[in-house]
Amino acid sequence: MMTSREIVLATLNFEKPERAALNLWNGGDHTYDDTCWAALLPDENFDGSWKNPEEVLSKYPDLKNFRGEVRFDEYGSLWGRLPGDFGCGEVIYGAVTDWAQLKDFQMPHISDKKRFAKAAESRVKDKFFMGGLPGYPFAIMRYIRKMEYFFEDLLLERENVNILNEMVMKELLGMIDNYAESGVDAVFTCEDWGTQDRLLISPALWREVFKPSIKRIFDRIHEHGMYAIMHSCGYIWEILGDLVEIGVDCMQFDAPTLMGMQRVSDLFGKKVTMFSPVDIQKVLPIPDPEVTRRSAREMIDTFCPKGGGLILKDYGDYKTIQIPPENVAAMHEEFISYGANLARYYK
């Protein structure tokens, strides 16, 4: 019988795993989770907890009527969320509100080896070991500047964008090196690039500004013999082929039907693995567990006949997006039972 790590490796390498790879953990039960994650030590001098806006009014007087909560991230940007929202919120004031501040901006040392001092101890025997980055350059730079301003910057402040990009890249590449020393199998990053029907920016601009940096990240991961796993929300078909071209090993989508599962599977071929739950937008919200079951089977039938190429996962927050618990249970049951014996595809 293959170990969890062997199952995931066989999946990523299209080497005919005996069963589907699983990342089912929401609810605290890791019985059906073939993965584990490297835990990093926090910066003891940083406080990222949510606060009452009154605590920051001296610097941000415009928040005097804001009734939600605020917090700072490590870059110095201020985030806000509305009452009753238990998610991560959104940046309301960037750390660099004026590009004149860039010369004095101190990028946090997120690649500090001290943070990785106990990362290797997080490995669970025989499980696939992953480490996470806080984003690729787009995600981090748009936090530092705030989204709408950063879109303008891409056209009007390219020189400053390039300088900030290199500051971010230095830390991300350093994190990858440290993960390699910790024995990590794969490096995972979230960077959302799509709306429901298109890319956030033009494909040409993406290729000019961001594709080279993402390739450098994939190349560094591969230099260490690790796998590159990337999450993105939205319709990113226009650049999905580019990501395959520059070496992504695994794409994590929470809405796998958005671009068409068969079309994505055909594009991925035996190069890229899908990492996904049943579609959280079009399928899981439907109050009928049988619809969830059918979609779970369809995913397995679409991707697994290639001899790998599919890791089945949980979504992180079913409560906020109001997914019926019986649908989650149906998804889990179908993933485990229908994915239990993949030999039927290899005959």
pLDDT of residue 316: 92
**What's the rounded Cα separation, in Å, for the pair 118 and 345?**
41
Query: In whole angstroms, what is the distance from residue 314 CA to residue 28 CA?
Result: 11
The candidate with the shortest Cα–Cα distance to 15, out of 27, 6, 23, 24, is 6
Q: What does the pLDDT look like over 261-278, one tens digit per residue?
A: 999 999 999 999 999 999
Looking at the chain, the number of H-run helices and the number of E-run strands are 10, 11
- For the chain, give every domain's residue range: 1-33+253-347, 47-95, 108-230
- Whether the predicted model's global pTM rises above the 0.85 cut: yes
Question: Other C-beta atoms within 10 Å of 75: how many?
Answer: 21
Tokens of 180: 């390699």
- 95-145, pLDDT tens digit by residue? 999 999 999 999 999 999 999 999 999 999 999 999 999 999 999 999 999
* pLDDT value at 174 more than 90: yes
Using alpha carbons, select from 194, 175, 196 the residue that is nearest to residue 184.
175
Residue-averaged pLDDT of the chain? 97
pLDDT surpassing 90 at residue 167: yes
Beta carbons of 21 and 33 less than 8 angstroms apart: no
Cβ–Cβ under 8 Å, residues 22 and 311: yes
Question: What's the residue count for the chain?
Answer: 347
